[in-house]
Amino acid sequence: MEPASSLGQTAVEAPDGRAPLADGGSVEAQHKLRREITSWGSFTWGYADVGADVYVALGLVMATAEGLANGAFLFAGLVYVMVGLTYTELSAAYPLAGGGQFFVLRGLGDFWGFVAGWAVLLDFTVDITLFAFSSAGYIDHFFPRLNQAPWIEVETGAIILFLYAVNVIGVRESTRLNAISATIDIASETTLIFIGFVIAFSSDRWWGQVSTALMHFNAGNLALGSSLAIISFVGLESIAQAAQETIRPATIMPRTSVALILTILAYALALSILTLGVLHWQTFAPNTGGAGCPHFAVHHFCQLHQNHENAPVPWLAENVPLIGSFVAPIVSVLGAMLLLISSNTGVYGSSRIAYSMASYEQLPRIFARVNARRRTPVVALTFFCGLALVLLILAGLQQDTLNTLGDIYAFGAATSYTLVFFAALKLRFTDPFTPRPFRMPWNFTVHRAGRPVQISIVNLLGILGIGSILIMVVLTHPIGRIAGPVWILVGLALYAVYRRRRRLPFPGSVKRDWASAQLAVYRESGEDELADEYEYRLRHQQ
């Protein structure tokens, strides 16, 4: 916990509320990130990431979990709700850039904070490539000759460079791109779900596939599907990372996080149920040929995409009678747009995590360098967009680029979320003075050193849920279980060298004045009531 004597020591803090470095200085103290993000902007940053994920995950889960795809999405969705409630509490309490990496750093120390941040950096780097590649694939539904190597890789590279330029220009422009695309997609996706259930959904087809899967239950397929389904729920990190660029973050982020949790859970479950009630899961499995093409579908559109695992939502739309042939191309365009902005959140998120980690001496200081005019972390943007291009080349050498990227994607999220749950639990004990505008529900009280501490059942269930998904990822993802741990080990080796050169403890933590940094952010962001409450609690130790 922070001692009351730490108050008033903000002279050595960076002006954006970051903790001082070990040598008493601060990273790029003359510049800070600009607050530009409103309530709708905060929501669309999260929706841009999660809303697009189902455009990719739906087909992957259908092809693996088969008739139990709904169960896979439901299990992952319940874990997502627990992750979301945990992030909501922590984001409102600690509204600084960095998201899960910062929460783990604050709760578990420098070593585990680095592991969490490095795992998320893997995720967001894959995010850039995966969703840029998928966006190009959706666009190429209309240009089939381009939907093959090397042209689709060239398109993907062009998309990554375009998003890099947008993010260098500024967060306002990047947020505007998200807001426009997300608004259009919410309207179109809602329309598709409503019309699909009214016109095309067959309860007999749905139950037939579910009952068959139950009769021939395959635990391995369900585990693989559940571990892939978590891909659909990886967007709350984007809201938390934008905390230091959000207006009134402690007030806005609980509202946007809860709204995002409910929206995405409803859409993911509705789309998966609708799909099994309209299509047979086999049409999403690789190498099924053109089997299942509806008589009312546009013939060339259907035949060109025999592996519907790669473009599941247009395939679903195409199978809605009466409107399918008209709606499918529209959905393809909107899917491409949403996948584009999901790739954009990867560009944004990776640079902000690196910015935060550099601010706390976990990466070289150059990653926290902010452009004086644009107020954007140009070095971090350049590095991780370049890394995404390298990943694109390596994945393109594999037989199935999409599955190779998806195989890696879930590892980073499951690892980071597991650490976030443990950090949230520990912070309830070690930092009782920080105001929590939002608190996870279902709490019970324990006593530690004569002080009552509330523990959330949601937090404990979340540890079990995300822990099981991490085990599923390791057991069922042949590429992910190798690439993920190797990425972590390489990162730890580099981290050890960097800390030794900086004469900083490894694996220990640098002593930081968290209280002053937190108060500075509260004041700078306009959360004066929280600042007053926090200051009072520290002074009176209650």
Cα gap 419→366, rounded to integer Å: 26
Residue with token string 């062009």: 158
Quick one: CA dihedral 203, 209, 210, 211, positive or negative? positive
- Identify the CA nearest to 341 among candidates 231, 181, 232, 126: 181
Cα gap 281→309, rounded to integer Å: 10
Q: Name the least confident of 70-84, 98-112, 125-139, 173-187.
A: 173-187
- Whether 29 has a pLDDT exceeding 90, the answer reads no
Cα gap 512→195, rounded to integer Å: 55
Q: With the CA atoms of 119, 120, 121 and 122 taken in that order, what torsion angle do they form, in degrees rounded to the nearest 10? A: 60
Q: Please give the pLDDT value at position 97.
A: 65
Question: What token pair was written down for 228?
Answer: 């892939």
- Identify the CA nearest to 231 among candidates 462, 23, 453, 472: 472
With contact defined as beta carbons under 8 Å apart, do 243 and 96 qualify? Answer: yes
Cα gap 282→198, rounded to integer Å: 23
With contact defined as beta carbons under 8 Å apart, do 357 and 98 qualify? Answer: yes
Domain harbouring 454, CATH code: 1.20.1740.10
State the pLDDT confidence band at 104, using cuts at 50, 70 and 90: very high
Report the first-to-last Cα separation within the chain, whole angstroms.
Answer: 11
Residue 26 backbone zone (phi > 0: left; psi -120 to 50: alpha; other: beta): beta
State the pLDDT confidence band at 187, using cuts at 50, 70 and 90: confident
Average pLDDT over residues 160-164: 89
Please report whether residue 542 resides in a domain.
no
pLDDT tens for residues 211-268?
Answer: 999 999 988 889 888 888 877 676 666 666 666 666 667 677 777 778 878 888 888 8
Cα separations in angstroms, 173 against 253, 374, 377: 20, 11, 15
Please report whether residue 11 resides in a domain.
no
Residue with token string 């259930």: 197
Three-class SS state of 319: coil
State the pLDDT confidence band at 326, using cuts at 50, 70 and 90: confident
Helices (H), 66-170: 69-93, 100-108, 110-139, 151-169
Cα gap 198→515, rounded to integer Å: 55
- Identify the CA nearest to 499 among candidates 111, 103, 122: 111
Residue 467 backbone zone (phi > 0: left; psi -120 to 50: alpha; other: beta): alpha
State the pLDDT confidence band at 419, using cuts at 50, 70 and 90: very high
Domain, as residue range, for 243: 21-511
Cα gap 496→362, rounded to integer Å: 10
Amino acid at 295: H
Cα gap 345→125, rounded to integer Å: 10
Sequence-distant (≥ 6) Cβ neighbours of residue 5 within 8 angstroms: none
Please report whether residue 43 resides in a domain.
yes
Greatest alpha-carbon pair distance for the chain in Å reads: 75
pLDDT tens for residues 349-390?
Answer: 788 788 878 888 888 888 877 766 666 778 888 898 999 999
- Directed axis angle between helix 324-359 and helix 151-169, to 10°? 50
Cα gap 442→439, rounded to integer Å: 9
Task: Write down the pTM of the prediction.
Answer: 0.80
Give CA 500 to chain center in angstroms. Answer: 31
Using DSSP, how many helices (H) and how many strands (E) does the chain show? 19, 2
DSSP string, 225-250: HHHHHGGGG--HHHHHHTGGGBSSHH
With contact defined as beta carbons under 8 Å apart, do 166 and 174 qualify? Answer: yes
Quick one: CA dihedral 52, 58, 64, 68, positive or negative? positive
DSSP string, 41-71: HHHHHHHHHHHHHHHHHHHHHHHHHGGGHHH
Cα separations in angstroms, 410 against 121, 123, 470, 474, 511: 12, 8, 8, 10, 33
Q: Please give the pLDDT value at position 27.
A: 39
- Whether 113 has a pLDDT exceeding 50, the answer reads yes
Q: Please give the pLDDT value at position 461.
A: 94
Number of domains in the chain: 1
Please report whether residue 15 resides in a domain.
no
Cα gap 1→34, rounded to integer Å: 29
Question: What token pair was written down for 70?
Answer: 């709904």
Q: Percent of the chain having pLDDT more than 70?
A: 78
